[in-house]
């Protein structure tokens, strides 16, 4: 009975998922939405070439899936990992329909190497080149790269989300990092480990 008396804001994500099967489902879904909608929207924007309208539609669809599939969720696991599995699968399905989807120009948010010239023009050029190089990655490399360096998830979490081994995630990140950095004319390869940490 404790779950039904607690203030909804104090619930863990996993407790809120349990509540989706109760009369408090709307409150629970609203709370999950308030916690994760912005982050998920950013993920979809990055994956869908800055198409905010499309990203918003996908975000709405994702939370509908959360409601529809809540019985499939294991409360012993992390909610956000489960949620990202669905988001990642939605992207993969869309990639199969429209290959060569790109990242949004203003949403690429990876730290500029500290040794890079502080001139704002240099930073802009760096980010423009970074965007182009990420866009050229295969979709499974792109998803891993975005989850790691833009969503800041761990190797273990990415492995769960993409349903591959941690070794495969590291291999994909290694390949993606090498491909991305090789395209960055303004990026000093000696700074690679400073920005793209695979471990």
116-172 pLDDT per residue, tens: 455 555 667 666 777 777 777 888 888 998 899 888 899 999 999 999 999 999 999
Vertex 61 angle, CA 92 and 156, to 5°: 50
pLDDT at 129: 72
Say yes or no: 72 and 31 in one domain.
Answer: yes
Asked if residue 32 belongs to a domain, the reply is yes
| Range(s) of the domain holding residue 158 | 120-195
Band of residue 65 on the pLDDT scale cut at 50, 70, 90: very high
pLDDT at 103: 45
Burial degree of 90 (CB within 10 A; 0-12, 13-18, 19+): middle
Asked if residue 110 belongs to a domain, the reply is no
Say yes or no: 93 and 139 in one domain.
Answer: no
- CATH number of the CATH domain containing 162: 1.10.10.10
**H/E segment holding residue 19:** helix 13-19
Q: How many domains does the chain fold into?
A: 2
Asked if residue 71 belongs to a domain, the reply is yes
d(CA 4, CA 21): 12
* Of 135 and 67, the one with more pLDDT: 67
Q: What is the number of other CB atoms lying within 10 angstroms of the CB of residue 110?
A: 17
- φ/ψ of residue 128, rounded to 5: -65, -45
Q: Are 45 and 52 in contact (CB under 8 A)?
A: yes
User: Final residue of a domain: which of 65, 97, 129?
Assistant: 97
Say yes or no: 13 and 80 in one domain.
Answer: yes
pLDDT at 5: 60
User: Final residue of a domain: which of 42, 66, 97?
Assistant: 97
Pull the structure tokens for residue 141. 């490399």
pTM: 0.71
Q: Are 149 and 110 in contact (CB under 8 A)?
A: yes
- CATH number of the CATH domain containing 12: 1.10.1740.10
């Amino acid at each position: 009975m404790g779950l039904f008396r607690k203030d909804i804001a104090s619930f863990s994500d996993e407790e809120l998922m349990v509540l989706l099967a109760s009369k408090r489902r709307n409150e629970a879904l609203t709370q999950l939405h308030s916690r994760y909608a912005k982050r998920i929207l950013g993920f979809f924007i990055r994956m869908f070439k800055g198409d905010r309208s499309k990203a918003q539609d996908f975000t709405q669809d994702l939370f509908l899936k959360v409601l529809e599939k809540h019985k499939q969720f294991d409360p012993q696991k992390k909610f956000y990992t489960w949620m990202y599995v669905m988001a990642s699968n939605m992207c993969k399905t869309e990639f199969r329909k429209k290959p060569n989807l790109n990242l949004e120009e203003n949403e690429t948010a990876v730290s500029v190497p500290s040794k890079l010239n502080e001139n704002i023009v240099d930073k802009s050029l760096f980010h423009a080149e970074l965007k182009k190089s990420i866009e050229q990655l295969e979709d499974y490399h792109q998803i891993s790269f975005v989850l790691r360096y833009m969503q800041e998830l761990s190797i273990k979490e990415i492995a769960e989300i993409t349903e591959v081994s941690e070794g495969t995630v590291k291999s994909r990140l290694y390949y993606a990092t090498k491909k991305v950095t090789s395209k960055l004319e303004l990026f000093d390869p000696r700074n690679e480990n400073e920005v793209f940490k695979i471990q």
